[in-house]
């Protein structure tokens, strides 16, 4: 996969392109990442890539032409003459794992990072294919949002993850949250590892993990659960979790200080 990033602050993207899972994938040639700075395509002595907002107010907006030249250079370098950009913005469609998986299957992405009040609307109309938001909060620039998207699609590329951390075991890969995980020591003053995990009974372990995934999703993200069609086995596991959970919370209440 090739990713071109249009940004006034390439340093932000650099970190994620150099370290960790994505950095290693890039070093191994599995992902190619190139950065394009609209400032390098400005035509005045100040290398301006932004200008005051029409209609007044304090803000500035990123100008069309430096962005357009940066995009054209990204297109030429990548050999995708018509490629449009993905614009990271709070106004975009919310990113989720299904969208990440769809984007990860493409062989080229062009990401556009806004700064200031964002990008001139005419550039969005002509050169942006979709606007994506990583969540309902505001960042000072689109770079960290782009870095998140690069990380999420990068780790799904063939050959990037080890088998041990395979993407099929992720939270969300089946629409559910992940189960809890434990490592040594088995006994600690903060608690014991659930006995089933040290039993060596692989079927029982798999069943426990599926039950915990369902239970946690039910407790923490009922919105995710509502979108799923559980099969009869899953429904039985979740019922079992709920009964155990009910037992625990009732015991807590009964052994409490009585407030
Ligand atoms: C576009 C318009 C993305 C981009 C305005 C980008 C949050 C997200 C930006 C801005 C971003 C997100 C400066 C407000 C850059 N903030 N939720 N900021 N702002 O995906």
Q: Which residues line ligand 1 (CB under 6 A)?
A: 88-90, 114, 118, 133-135, 137-142, 145
Active-site annotation holder among 117, 151, 178, 240 = 117
17 and 117, same domain (yes or no): yes
136 and 217, same domain (yes or no): no
98 CA to centre of ligand 1 in angstroms: 21
**Per-residue model confidence as pLDDT tens for the chain (259 residues):** 999 999 999 999 999 899 999 999 999 999 999 999 999 999 999 999 999 999 999 999 999 999 999 999 999 999 999 999 999 999 999 999 999 999 999 999 999 999 999 999 999 999 999 999 999 999 999 999 999 999 999 999 999 997 656 787 788 879 999 999 999 999 999 999 999 999 999 999 999 999 999 999 999 999 999 999 999 999 999 999 999 999 998 888 887 655 4
132 and 228, same domain (yes or no): no
- Give the CATH number of the domain where residue 11 resides: 3.40.1280.10
Active-site annotation holder among 24, 90, 131, 207 = 90
Contacts of 155 (CB under 8 A, 6+ apart): 21, 22, 25, 161, 167
Residue 233 inside a domain? The answer is yes
Q: E strands, 69-223, where?
A: 85-94, 108-113, 128-133, 187-188, 191-192
Both tokens of 118, joined, read 């964002």
Residue-wise burial string across 88-121, b where 16 or more C-beta atoms lie within 10 A, e elsewhere:
bbbebeebebebbeebbeeeebbbbbbbbebbbe
206 CA to centre of ligand 1 in angstroms: 41
Residue 65: CB atoms within 10 A of its CB come to 14
- Burial of residue 173, with CB atoms counted within 10 A of its CB: 0-12 exposed, 13-18 middle, 19 or more buried: middle
Per the annotation, the verdict on 170 as an active-site residue is yes
Residue 205 inside a domain? The answer is yes
Ligand 1 atom nearest residue 95's Cα: 20
User: What total number of domains does the chain contain?
Assistant: 2
85 and 16, same domain (yes or no): yes
185 and 106, same domain (yes or no): no
Pocket test for ligand 1, best of 6, 13, 61, 90 (most atoms within 8 A of CB): 90
| End position of a domain, from candidates 124, 154, 184 | 154
Residue 162 inside a domain? The answer is no
Residue 35 inside a domain? The answer is yes
Residue 163 inside a domain? The answer is no
Query: Parallel, antiparallel, or unpaired for β 2-6 and 32-36?
Result: parallel
Is the pTM above the cut of 0.75?
yes
Residue 164 inside a domain? The answer is no
What's residue 239's pLDDT?
98
47 and 86, same domain (yes or no): yes
Residue 191 inside a domain? The answer is yes
* Full residue range of the structural domain in which residue 179 is found: 169-257
16 and 141, same domain (yes or no): yes
Pocket test for ligand 1, best of 12, 93, 114 (most atoms within 8 A of CB): 114
117 CA to centre of ligand 1 in angstroms: 8
48 and 81, same domain (yes or no): yes
- Give the CATH number of the domain where residue 245 resides: 1.10.1270.20
Pocket test for ligand 1, best of 7, 57, 62, 89 (most atoms within 8 A of CB): 89
106 and 197, same domain (yes or no): no
238 and 117, same domain (yes or no): no
214 and 118, same domain (yes or no): no
Name the residue with the closest Cα to ligand 1, atom 20: 133
Residue 217 inside a domain? The answer is yes
137 and 50, same domain (yes or no): yes
Strand partners, 132: 93
């Amino acid at each position: 996969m090739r990713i071109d990033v249009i940004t006034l602050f390439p340093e932000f993207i650099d970190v994620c392109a150099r370290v960790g899972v994505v950095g290693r994938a890039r070093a191994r040639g599995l992902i190619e990442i190139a950065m394009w700075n609209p400032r390098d395509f400005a035509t005045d002595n100040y290398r301006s890539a932004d200008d005051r907002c029409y209609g007044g107010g304090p803000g500035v907006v990123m100008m069309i032409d430096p962005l357009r030249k940066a995009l054209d250079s990204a297109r030429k370098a990548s050999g995708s003459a018509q490629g449009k950009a993905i614009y990271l913005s709070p106004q975009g469609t919310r990113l989720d794992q299904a969208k990440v998986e769809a984007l990860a299957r493409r062989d080229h992405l062009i990401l556009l990072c806004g700064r200031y009040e964002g990008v001139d609307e005419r550039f969005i109309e002509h050169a942006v294919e979709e606007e994506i938001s990583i969540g309902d909060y505001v960042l000072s620039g689109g770079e960290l949002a782009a870095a998140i998207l690069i990380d999420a699609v990068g780790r799904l590329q063939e050959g990037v993850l080890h088998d041990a951390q395979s993407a099929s075991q992720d939270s969300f890969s089946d629409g559910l949250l992940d189960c809890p995980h434990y490592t040594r020591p088995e006994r600690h003053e903060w608690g014991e590892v659930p006995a089933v995990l040290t039993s060596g009974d692989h079927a029982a372990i798999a069943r426990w993990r599926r039950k915990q995934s369902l239970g946690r999703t039910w407790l923490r993200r009922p919105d995710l659960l509502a979108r799923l069609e559980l099969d009869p086995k899953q429904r039985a596991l979740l019922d079992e979790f709920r009964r155990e959970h009910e037992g625990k919370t009732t015991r807590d209440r009964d052994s409490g200080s009585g407030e």
